[in-house]
Amino acid sequence: MSYDPNNPYGQQPPQNPQPGYGQPQGQPGYGQPQGQPGYGYPQGAPQGVPPQQGYGYPQQPGYPGYPQQGYGATPPYANWGQRFLGTLVDGLVFLVPYILIIVGRGNGALTAVGFVLILGLAIWQLIQEGKTGQTVGKKALGIRLVRENTGQPLGIGMAFLRRLAHFVDSIACYLGWLWPAWDAKRQTFADKICGSIVIRTQ
């Protein structure tokens, strides 16, 4: 053994040092079969995590604010028939107060009760539609009114403005009410003005 002035202890430095404690670089971990990753490395999605949500799985594109039930990037628009039947059911809710008004033409008390019930039901329906997106008719048909850009309910104020905007649907020979039958987003003119859509919840 020759004396190396740069190494006063007289020891030869190891040849081709390897990183890590006793583990050559690029070799499988202790007890691991050849070709398998070493201890501590995940080999895929963790157990118990459903596809599309776990490790190593790409997220599917979805429309913001809408439940992801296989609809992809397009929200589940309600068709014209569902919207029409929902409006029809909403109209039937007011049937009893109308009957009271008709029957009570000679009775001021019955007429007053009928008008109060109509007003109360109209306000209640508006509040429900603004806060939850559903009136009695929409809930019965499994549809909901939401903001197009977020998928959240409109709010009471915007729901009221949308009802006023239905005037536009009526002035052109009621064409706006029929527009959802062929429109790509199933919107009336009022929906386009207010940025709202009606979606399926079932």
Q: What is the pLDDT of residues 11-62, one digit of tens each?
A: 555 555 555 445 555 555 544 555 554 444 445 545 554 444 433 333 334 4
Query: The pTM is what?
Result: 0.64
Q: How far apart are CA 145 and CA 98, in angstroms?
A: 26
Phi, psi of 164 (to 5 degrees): -65, -35
Burial status of residue 192 (CB atoms within 10 A of its CB: 0-12, 13-18, 19 or more):
middle
Query: CA 139, 137, 98, 126: dihedral to nearest 10 degrees?
Result: 70
Q: What is the pLDDT of residues 49-106, one digit of tens each?
A: 444 443 333 333 445 555 544 445 678 999 999 999 999 999 999 998 988 888 878 7
Q: How close are the terminal C-alpha atoms of the chain, in Å?
A: 85
- Strand intervals (E) in the chain: 143-147, 196-200
Q: What is the pLDDT of residues 164-176, one digit of tens each?
A: 999 999 998 999 9
Q: What is the pLDDT of residues 111-162, one digit of tens each?
A: 889 999 999 999 999 999 999 999 999 999 999 999 999 999 999 999 999 9
